[in-house]
Amino acid sequence: MTEKNNGFALLLKAHASSPVIGGLVGLLIGDALGVPYEFHTPEDLPSQKQIEMQPPVGFRPAHAGVLPGTWSDDGAQALCLLASLLEQGKFSLTDFAARLLQWLDDGYMAVDGDVFDCGIQTAEALGYLREGVSPHESGGTDERSNGNGSLMRVLPLALWHTGSDEQLVKDAHLQSLPTHAHPRSLGACAFYVLVARGYLRKLDEPWRWADSRLADIYEDWPEHRERKALLAELDVLRSFPTTDKPSGTGYVPDCLWSARRALEEASFEDVVRTAILFGHDTDTTACIAGGLAGVKFGLAGIPARWLEQLRGFDIVESLIFRFDSTRSKAG
């Protein structure tokens, strides 16, 4: 369903050049654009020019009955994080974990209250939360528990955070714990928020800066055993790309590097379409790439037709207003 002249499109008047609002809306656009193409291999996808909110005739979308322009678990969990930050004025692990559970159980922050997609690792971890397990201990800790479920939602932390790089990294780790507690996932989230900070600061090479900055932070990590593990996992993230073409899977290093490759494109539109064309976990790859592309190109860089088709403005409107107010006071 196309919502002509909806609230997202009207945001352009006030926030056309805003990297922060561009990042938030960019992740929602990327997620929603990728939803119909999820689980498909690259060979099964339409051509790049045919990647739209409404797939071409004859293409079988991944989630039957979900209206075009609807974000999935990625966007909903990211909004859970933003709402928690705005309400608490800081990162609160217990409050954030409660909102994640509210999303899964009640459709909080989901368009139409419909939870139609949830990763296996996330569902299992939130099940432990429901049973009373601490959010410090509910997330998977084994090496196979390195899906992209915490990476996909972490961008609002970087958009909101005004603290030091070290504190941003620590909070990125904390927000991952309820669902993904392995050091590889923690490191991916930390790397990503520093990349976002690099884009926000308009650095020439945000990815290289984030790599160097995170290495310095981990070298000074106070606890020896954690330091060793985090540095080892940073090496895993650095060495992961073994081919010229990422594969867009849900494995957290692949997802991160698929997004990095997509961000080599010259426009928001090409970034998210390229992310989707890697196939597989298309909504998450496009969400992660789209958030950074929204920071890089601003809200004005997002095609108007996609803003008009994005659903759920009633959910986001108050968050954007409060976000603006919070940043104005901080400034």
Q: How far is CA 301 from the centre of its chain?
A: 18
Residue 208 counted as domain residue: yes
* 3-state DSSP percent of the chain in helix, strand and coil, to 5: 65, 0, 35
* 93: its two tokens: 């692990």
Going by the DSSP 8-state scheme, the letter that residue 136 receives in this structure is: T
pLDDT at 1: 38
Tell me the average pLDDT of the chain. 94
The end-to-end CA distance of the chain, in Å, is: 39
**CATH number, position 64:** 1.10.4080.10
Distance (Å, rounded) from C-alpha 126 to C-alpha 131? 9
In this prediction, residues 31-40 reach a mean pLDDT of 98
pLDDT at 24: 97
Residue 225's Cβ-count burial label (10 Å; 0-12, 13-18, 19+) is exposed
pLDDT tens-digit readout, 197-220: 999 999 999 999 999 999 999 999
Residue 249 counted as domain residue: yes
* 287: its two tokens: 């969400």
Q: What percent of the chain has pLDDT over 90?
A: 88
Note the pTM of the prediction, 2 decimals. Answer: 0.95
Amino acid at 318: S
CA-closest candidate to residue 36, choices 53, 21, 24, 20: 53
Choice among 95-99, 147-151, 184-188, 245-249 with the minimum mean pLDDT: 245-249
Q: Structural domain of residue 185, as residue ranges?
A: 7-330
Distance (Å, rounded) from C-alpha 156 to C-alpha 79? 8
Residue 20 counted as domain residue: yes
pLDDT tens-digit readout, 267-307: 999 999 999 999 999 999 999 999 999 999 999 999 999 99
In this prediction, residues 165-193 reach a mean pLDDT of 98
Q: Are 108 and 99 in contact (CB under 8 A)?
A: yes
Task: Please indicate whether residue 263 or residue 239 has the higher confidence score (pLDDT).
Answer: 263
Distance (Å, rounded) from C-alpha 94 to C-alpha 258? 31
Residue 2 counted as domain residue: no
CA-closest candidate to residue 272, choices 297, 240, 241: 297
Residue 229 counted as domain residue: yes
Residue 1 counted as domain residue: no
Instruction: Using the predicted structure, report yes or no on whether residue 20 has a pLDDT greater than 50.
Output: yes
Residue 119 counted as domain residue: yes
Amino acid at 299: L
Count how many domains the chain has.
1
In this prediction, residues 136-157 reach a mean pLDDT of 97
pLDDT at 10: 85
* 318: its two tokens: 């108050």
Residue 58 counted as domain residue: yes
